[in-house]
Structure 1
Amino acid sequence: MKLLVFGASGRIGTELVRQAVAAGHAVTAVVREGSSLQVPLPELRLVAARAGVAGGLTEVVTADVMDPQAIAPLLPGHDAVLSALGPRPKGPSDVMESSAASILQAMSESDVRRLVLVSVAGIHTRGDGPFTKYVVKPILQRILRESFADARRMEELIGAGPLDWTIVCPPMLTNGSAKGTIRSNTEGTVRGGFTITRADVATYVLNAIDNAALTRKTVVISN
């Protein structure tokens, strides 16, 4: 497949690009002005070569994801769009909502229908145990209220749109190697699922692309 990745310079985006290339996908990695891909292209080509894949070609493009006219020309020829953009960690944030609105507008004028986005598990409470629901989540929602509000607006916007979308919601993100065990729930949260590695998030997002059962679904994941 040919994949268009927004937020490619971030830590989840880096994993998406690296794993997609290793799997033989052709990747267009979009970074904002002043940023760069964290994985050098020669390293990505070496990853592809070691995996013995013919694909894995990578193009790095600088574009403003908030400008639909800037990203629309990038869409033709791609099979899916992936967004690893997250909210600002502190203070007012509209990164997720505004980027989603721009992506939706750009995709509405193209033939690309598949969209997979990363959100946050903290805004979802259905299925939580009493301690998580009444103690942990209220604390998180106070501390991260701006970020969580941004994520909620993004999910509402995407959910009301016409695309073949999937929203992937991880809990607290950790670094390190993938654990390889990913639990998921499309009907609520994952009981006891408090953390997940960024590498595992990327793996799940890539596997979700051609999973028809996840079309127009919001899924919470964890290790």
Structure 2
Amino acid sequence: MHVVVLGARGGSGRAVVVEALGAGHRVTAAVRDPDAFHTLGITSNRLHVARVDVRDEESLVPVIDGQDVVVFAAGPPGRRAHGLYSQGAQATVAAMTRCRVDRLLAITSAGVRYDDHELAPWYRLLVRPLLGEIYADMSLMEQVVRASDLDWTLVRPVLLLDREPVGDYRVLDAATPRRGRTITRADLAQFIVGEIDERRWSRQAPTLAH
């Protein structure tokens, strides 16, 4: 498969790139700064690095054209969304439609569900208010994706950890697994790369937790 990862320099995007290469896919790492990506030391003869602005449809078209799957892993560096998720989704959906690429895996968060009582109380009381703008923009992104004609999957991890993969994680559609608190980025990447081939969660919003 030919896979493009938007936001490949971030923690989750980087994990998806590594996992997809390990699974034998051809990967395009789409980033704002290719030089910065190269400093990560990820190398393969199946890896191509491309400069892209995820908010710009015209920038996305030449990167998405000819791909089989798009993984949207872009995110802002801080607590302000600046419209990155919603504007990025609009541009990505438009570019994919033009290029006739229909499979989209977009990373959002379990935090977009404000009525999700399975999230830890400290998360609901402290993290949600702190990241309110992020979650609101993620919600807008989900609305854009759901309204499209694409074969989409909205992947909603709980709190992400930069640790070794556990492998034993749980998945529910649009609901956090009972007492699910954390998941590693490596396990998130494993799930996404598995979906590239299996398409078990088409037009669903799987929520991942250990």
Q: Report the TM-score when normalising by structure 1.
A: 0.86
Query: Residues 27 and 191 from structure 1, CA distance in 2 versus in 1: closer, same or farther, beyond 3 angstroms?
Result: same
Q: 1:144 aligns with which of 114, 117, 131?
A: 131
Partner of 1:170: 157
> Larger Cα Rg: Structure 1 or Structure 2?
1
Q: Please show how residues 69-84 of structure 1 align to structure 2 within 5 Å.
A: 69-84=58-73
Misfit runs of 4+, over 6 Å: none
Deviates more, 1:85-94 or 1:11-20: 85-94
Q: 2: CA distance between counterparts of 1:127 and 1:211?
A: 28
2:170 pairs with 1:183: yes
Aligned-residue offset at 1:138: 4.1
CA drift of 1:135 comes to: 6.3
The answer on whether the counterparts of 2:21 and 2:27 sit within 8 Å (CA) in structure 1 is yes
Q: Partners of 2:40 and 2:65 in 1: how far apart?
A: 25
Say whether the 8 Å CA contact 2:176–2:209 is kept in structure 1: no
Paired letter, 1:205: I
User: Is there any run of 5+ residues in structure 2 with no aligned partner, and where?
Assistant: none
Partner of 2:54: 65
Q: What does residue 143 of structure 2 align with?
A: 156
Residues 1-223 of structure 1: pairs in structure 2 closer than 5 A: 1-33=1-33, 35-37=36-38, 39-41=40-42, 44-45=43-44, 57-124=46-113, 128-129=117-118, 132=120, 136-223=123-210
**What is the alpha-carbon root mean square deviation over aligned residues?**
2.0
One-letter amino acid of the structure 2 residue matched with residue 202 of structure 1:
A
Number of equivalenced pairs: 209
Normalised to the residue count of structure 2, the TM-score between the two structures is 0.91
* Secondary structure class of the residue paired with 2:99: coil
**Per-residue Cα deviation, 1:96-129 (whole angstroms, up to 9, x for no partner):** 1111111011011012100001001112256634
Please state how far the C-alpha of 1:160 moved relative to its aligned partner. Answer: 1.0
